[in-house]
Every structure is written in structure tokens, then in C-alpha cells.
Amino acid sequence: MSRPMTIAEKILAAHAGTDEVRPGQLVDVQVDMALGNDITAPISIEIFREAGAKKVFDREKIALVADHFTPNKDIKSAEQVRTLREFSDEHAIKHFYEGGQVGVEHCLLPEKGIVLPGDVVIGADSHTCTYGALGAFATGAGSTDLAAAMITGRTWFKVPESIKIVYKGELQPWVCGKDLILYTIGDIGVDGALYMAMEFTGPVIESLPMSDRFTMSNMAIEAGGKAGLVNPDSTTEQYVSARASRSYQVYHSDENAEYARVVEYDCSKIEPQIAFPHLPENTVGISEVATVELDQVVIGSCTNGRIEDLAIAAAILKGRKIAEELRLIVLPATPAIWTEALDKGFLKTFIEAGAVIGPPTCGPCLGGHMGVLAKGERALSTTNRNFVGRMGHPESEVYLASPAIAAASAVLGRIGSPEELS
């Protein structure tokens, strides 16, 4: 009989073809999905060709998503996407997305049922850990590792220790998954879960919709985590069953599994959170924020660009106008989300409030385009990072928050809560 294991350990053991694994052990595992985007995949493709590889391991287990600089912002980005397009044509890659089909990768792949519970997923993008919300072991990797996986269908890991984070109590008004993960990062620090599998558990997590779970897993990397997982339940099954086009295996942590650390939070004491520059750990509750005037607000990204996020923002902005001299940029994360937001009248609400509606793109999150900051400007964003120069000029400032805080702040012209709106 194998030792009690966490969900992360069980997935890695299954993909390594062994009964059990232990933290610190090196394992060679089968990959269910290998992901690259228009920034990282061209490097992988170059390495793939330099290695003399003639074909990919499985054309249905590679995803190439041109989401970072699209629509192409310049000649270089156009050349990068062409590299993806030509490689995809050459190898008949099933999951290649650009133009009107493209969405922000970490929203698009779950939406299309391309990543599923129990999978091992590597992506040449640090926020690949998003898929842990489905109960997958998903993590970022370098372009070289992606190239190797595209050739062999395998990769290696050092089995991480797991940290169990238990969320209890009743959520305060306007508090969502974004606030919980910001609070967690603020508590344990940006290296508090370094190379660990963060396991989000407890009654509060069980009550969260998939959108909030994706948000929390998405930002596991901001605490140094290797992965951020939620044990699958009926909410997961309802989401996946409508999308999956292949079989999958569900894993759960054993009750007596060993953890490097267990942390518990009383969510009734957690108010909406703001991460101040220039680290996601610089968090404070909304009640502690003094006057921070804003030049720009961004609602979107792989962290908070889903339909549930847009619904919250639209409800707050309905019948209101954004502050003068403030730019509000709204980027629905996929074509399907964009269409649903249109059908539900959210886009009209945003436009009437004074927002700019953009296509599904990562754009401003990485300071790429469609919302780059000038020197001295301040932005509040629903994205995941606020490093120096992350969204533009190195002397600009980025504050992180939830869609509710973002929408209210756009109206107020400063960081504030929906409760301040009359």
C-alpha cells in the first residue's frame, strides 16, 4: 500500500508510472498538454528545429496561443505570430489560436476543455499554474523545457512539498477570490510557498465558483508556488463535464497526507485587498488605503477577465460615469466571454460609463500595448503583477485589486470601495 499523498503527489506519481512519490524526488513524467504563446513559443520552435526534431510528439497535446502582443502591435510581434502559424501548419497543431479565435491563454484553454482534472500541464508562461483550479498539476516552464516536451511528450520535476491553506468563515461584502489570494500572499510573502504545491481548501473554497478558483490558482506563482491546486468537487465537475472532449482522472489528497505547512484563515476578518507597488505581497485592506489618485484602471487578464468578473464590474458601473481624466480599459478574456458580455449588455454599460473596450489580449498586463503607462502614472489593475515597470514606464505605479474595487475606483478617480458610491 502506498503512502498517503497530496493531490499534487498523486498526479505526479500517476504520470511517472509509479505507485508513489515523495517530496524532493526527481521524476520523469508524461505531459498531457504543452503550452506556448507568441512571446515564448518562437524560442521553443527555434530550439525544436536546432535539435533536428522532425515531428511533435502529439499534435493534439500542444497549444500555441498568440495572446500577448495580439492584435500584432508591430513588425516584430507579427513575425513572432507568423512563426507560430507556420509551425502549426507544418505539424498540424490542433490547438493554435490567433486573430478572432484567440483568447487569453489561461482563460481559453479551460473554457475549451483543453486542460482537465488530473492533467500534467507545462506552459512557457509563469501563470500556467491557473489550471490547478481544475485539480491539474500545472506549472510554468522555460522555452527549452517546452521544446523538449514538444519533442518527447515528457518533462521532469523535483516533487514539491505541499502547503495546505484552509479558508474558513463568512466572506465580507465584495470579497472574492482575488482578495483571498492577495491576503494570502501578503501574509506568507512572495517566497512563502517557494517551489511548493499550494493546496487551497476549506469551506470557503468549496463555496467559490470556478472563476474565483482560477484567480487564486493563477496567482500561486506570486507566492513562489510551483503549482496552486484545488481538489475537484461538484463545482469542478459541472464546469468540466460541459467542456471535456476526452477522458480524465480525478485525484484528491488523502486525509492523512503530509504537508510542509498548514495555514488557516478566518475569512470573516478579510476585507477587500489592495496590493501596493511594487510587489504582490504589499497588501493592505481597503479601509487602510489613504487617497491614491489614479490615471488608469484595467479590468481583464488571465486573473480577472472572465464573465463573472465583468458582471461584477458592470453592476457597479451601471448608470455611472468614470472619473474625468481617467482611462478605464476593459478586456474580456476570450471571444466567448466577449460575446456573452455583449449579449448581456455589459459592454454597453462599460462604453456608456466611458470605458475603452478592447479585444481578448494580455496587452497592458505586461506593458505590451493597449494600455501602457507613462512616467509617473498610476494604474489600478485586476492583473497579477505590479513589479517595477510591469505595465510601462519604470517610474509608473501599479496597484492590484479585484474587479469590484477596480470598477468603483474608476468612478471615484482614486482607489476606493463600491460602498463609497451613492
Q: Which domains does the chain have, with CATH numbers?
A: 7-264 (3.30.499.10), 273-420 (3.30.499.10)
Q: What is the arithmetic mean of pLDDT over 398-414?
A: 98
Instruction: Give dist(CA 104, CA 303) in Å, integer.
Output: 10
Q: What is the arithmetic mean of pLDDT over 346-371?
A: 94
Q: What is the arithmetic mean of pLDDT over 277-289?
A: 95
Q: What is the pLDDT of residue 119?
A: 98
Give the predicted TM-score (pTM) of the model: 0.95
Q: What is the pLDDT of residue 222?
A: 96
Instruction: Give dist(CA 174, CA 350) in Å, integer.
Output: 19
Q: What is the arithmetic mean of pLDDT over 132-150?
A: 97
- pLDDT above 90 coverage of the chain, percent: 96
pLDDT tier for residue 2 given thresholds of 50, 70 and 90 = confident
Give tens-digit pLDDT for 284-306.
Answer: 999 999 999 999 999 999 999 99
Of 365 and 206, the one with more pLDDT: 206
Q: What is the pLDDT of residue 332?
A: 97
- pLDDT above 70 coverage of the chain, percent: 100
**Which of these ranges, 26-35, 55-64, 367-376, has the smallest mean pLDDT?**
367-376
